[in-house]
Structure 1
Amino acid sequence: MAVKFSEKALDHVIDEMIDVVDHSKDEIFNISEGARSEYERLLLELRETKNKVIQHIENGDQLDQKVRFSRQRLAEVSKYFDRYSESEIRQVYENTHKMQTKLAMLRQEEKTLREKRDDLERRLINLSKTIERAEGLASKITVILNYLQDDFKQVNEMIEDAKEKQEFGLKIIEAQEDERRKISREIHDGPAQMLANILLRSEIIGKVYQQGDMDKALAEMRDIREMVRSSLYEVRRIIYDLRPMALDDLGLVPTIKKYISTIAEYNNLEIDFVMMGKEKRLNQKYEIAFFRLMQEALQNAIKHAEARFIQVKLEIASNHLRMIIKDDGKGFEPNVKKDKSFGLIGMKERVEILDGQLTIKSAIGKGTAISIQVPYNA
């Protein structure tokens, strides 16, 4: 009886340690995010300050030339004061004094701006180091969690039951039907509509040609050429979406990097990828699921949220996988249900099949953050 009590007490202590370390890791994530936001704000302020310094230098140099000329004029008036009236001498002296005072103030403002610029550069360096340390510390904490969960956590009947439940939940037929519905919608909304439009535009070309308006006919043909090119891209994208070969050959992380690079270049936006934990090959069903989840989240951020910056974070731990997709788009109200929101519904269904949890945080004008976590034992 005493032995069982000790084992339960040890398990309880280890569980609390894991909760504390996991909470600390989340706090480090928040610190890293806050530091990145502050870094971007200071970087913008630094650019504005540098422009002001340049402007003050140019204005100061121009005013300095005027001051030298005015001082020469003052010296001439002072030397030949008998040739000038008292009012003329006073005006030259006052103008010179005003310009000298303005120049001194301008130089002082320039000095203040230079000091501000130097201070911003120092703060940016410190913030950069803070971000680097936070990400390094998060990686170390992930390693600590791996040790706690692998070396100290005992496998029990609950974990076995969870595995059996998870395997049972992965229904192949339902997944196939979901993919068929998704492909059908994409073909209907993409290439099919484009081809119908191309057919209509080709009929217009025939009518325009018969009317003898060659310029308009050529313009219509150029438009059709662009539509054909777009249709070809959509078809290739759908084929790639069916099964990217890199996923089988290279694994999840290299495939994500390649996909992010391609989609960022095509859409002319910035996508940042952060890898936490140890990069390794995963069970095939998890690699496919997480790639699809990331893919759907990016497409939603680009098409619906109109985001210009997206960040993807992937964490591979010993007993779970976590992915966070965050964008700066226009956001939405997660509690308000929308018709035909097939993307988010499909993501939730896929995460539920993996016995995981999907969390969406969003607000109008404040972007969207999607967090996905599923249990995983290598």
Structure 2
Amino acid sequence: MQQEGQAILVAVFTLVFLCTILIVLFIVFQKHKNKLLLKQNEAEKQFDREIAKTQIEIREETFRNISWELHDNIGQLLTPAKIQLQNSSDNQEVIITLDKGLKELRTLSKAINPEALKNITLATAIKQEIERLNRLQYLQASLHIEGEERSIDHEVEVVFFRMIQEFFSNTIKHAKATHLKVTIIFNGEQLNVFAEDNGTGFNKNRPENKGIGLTNIKKRAQLVNAKVSINSTINEGTQLHISYTLKSRT
């Protein structure tokens, strides 16, 4: 009888012990789960903030570009039209000049639209930037697309476009380049974007060159899990390479 009582006591103790262990494990699991959820939520918020910041920077850069175009391109078109009106009895040349100016204004009106990038692909957005550079005669720019174009998440397109836009800006402001070439390659699940100029180049290991948009480009690549490399040789130019794995087709 005494042995049975001891056995029951041991069984109860064991059961209580196991229940306690399970409760502790459950509490630890819940805490760990909540911690992971908070971390994931914060990461998603940070991603949204970075995307919003990138979109704002794209618009700011677009407004700067439009300012240059209004001054350097459309102004040069409309000023001769005014002189032609004053000095010529033949209005045909004036009509042609004004027609060019109107076409430029329509192009600008599309570029200034904040929804513009939502309605076009990355390749089209880059093509428009290339056409703008050629229009302004800053340098000779070209775009080559290889493979079957694939759809890309809009957030990724925004980040990639800003990276390319930043490279263009550095080329114009610092590189003194005469040629700029962009190549977009769709190869199955892999997307590769190459941009290169024939400018003065720079030593990226020197402290004074760390801020030429390189840090921002690399941070943005990390934001969307892309790989990026930037190579530059003095007097030979600079090359940007972006590599990204596309989502599998369903």
* Structure 1 length-normalised TM: 0.38
SS in structure 1 opposite 2:151?
Answer: coil
Superposition map of 1:9-28 within 5 A: none
For residue 324 of structure 1, report the CA deviation from its aligned partner: 0.6
1:251 matched residue in structure 2: 121
In structure 1, the residue matched to 2:24 is none
- 1:285 alignment partner in structure 2: 155
> In structure 2, do the counterparts of structure 1 residues 362 and 241 end up closer, same or farther at CA, with 3 Å as the change threshold?
farther
- Counterpart check, 1:272 vs 2:148: no
Alpha-carbon distance change, 177 to 292 in structure 1, aligned in 2, over 3 angstroms: closer
Q: How big is each residue's C-alpha offset from its partner over 1:21-80, in whole Å with a ceiling of 9 and x where there is no partner?
A: xxxxxxxxxxxxxxxxxxxxxxxxxxxxxxxxxxxxxxxxxxxxxxxxxxxxxxxxxxxx
Equivalent position of 1:173 in the other structure: 49
Out of 327, 344, 364, the residue aligned to residue 197 of structure 2 is 327
* Other-structure match for 1:341: 211
Unpaired stretches in structure 1, ≥5 consecutive residues: 1-163, 192-232
CA distance in 1, matches of 2:58, 2:208: 17
**Residue of structure 2 in register with 1:354 after alignment:** 224
Residue aligning to 1:313:
183
Native 8 Å contact 2:152 2:246 kept in 1: no
Answer yes or no: is the 8 Å Cα contact 2:62–2:111 preserved in 1: no
Q: For residues 189-222 of structure 1, what are the alpha-carbon distances to aligned partners after superposition, in whole Å with 9 as ceiling and x for unaligned?
A: x98xxxxxxxxxxxxxxxxxxxxxxxxxxxxxxx
1:126-178 CA-partner distances (Å, limit 9, x unpaired): xxxxxxxxxxxxxxxxxxxxxxxxxxxxxxxxxxxxxx9xx959711133345
The Cα of 1:369 is off from its aligned counterpart by 0.8
> How do residues 30-179 of structure 1 correspond to structure 2 at under 5 angstroms?
171-177=47-53
- Give SS of 1:273's match: strand
Distance 2:184 2:157 in 1: 12
- Alignment partners' CA distance in 2, 1:290 and 1:339: 22
SS at match of 2:165: helix
Aligned partners of 2:111, 2:159: CA distance in 1, in Å? Answer: 15
Give the one of 359, 363, 378 matched to 2:233: 363
TM-superposed CA distance for 1:358, in Å, is 1.2
Q: Is the CA contact (8 Å cut-off) linking 1:252 and 1:281 kept in structure 2?
A: no
- The number of residue pairs the alignment matches comes to 167
Q: Which has the larger helix fraction?
A: 1
**Superposition misfits of 4+ residues, deviation over 6 angstroms:** 181-188
- Determine whether 1:300 maps to 2:176: no
What SS does the aligned partner of 1:289 have? helix
Q: CA deviation at 1:343?
A: 2.1
Aligned partners of 1:295 and 1:338: how far apart in 2? 21
The letter of the residue matching 2:227 is Q
Query: For residue 352 of structure 1, what is the amino acid of its counterpart?
Result: Q
1:276-296 Cα shifts (integer Å, max 9, x gaps) = 110233221222222222211
**Structure 2 CA distance, aligned partners of 1:354 and 1:256?**
19
AA in 2 matched with 1:357: K
Measured in 2, the distance between the counterparts of 1:275 and 1:169 equals 34
Tell me the percent identity. Answer: 23
TM-score of the aligned structures, taking structure 2 as reference length: 0.56
Return the letter of the residue paired with 2:164: M
Deviation at 1:351, TM superposition (A): 0.5
**Secondary structure, aligned partner of 2:208:** coil
| 1:261/1:291 CA distance change after superposition, 3 Å | same
Secondary structure (helix, strand or coil) at the match of 2:213 reads helix
Q: State the 1:344 CA deviation.
A: 1.9
State the Cα distance separating 1:305 from its structure 2 match. Answer: 0.4
Unaligned runs of 5+ in 2: 1-39, 68-104
How far is 1:333 from its partner? Answer: 0.5
* Alignment RMSD (CA, Å): 3.5
Partners of 1:181 and 1:367 in 2: how far apart? 25
Read off the aligned partner of 1:372 and give its amino acid letter.
I
Relative to structure 1, is the Cα distance of residues 277 and 271 closer, same or farther in structure 2, using a 3 angstrom cutoff? same
Q: Is the 8 A contact 2:202 2:234 kept in 1?
A: yes
Partners of 2:203 and 2:209 within 8 A in 1 = no
User: Structure 2 vs 1, CA of residues 366 and 169 (structure 1 numbering), >3 Å: closer, same or farther?
Assistant: farther
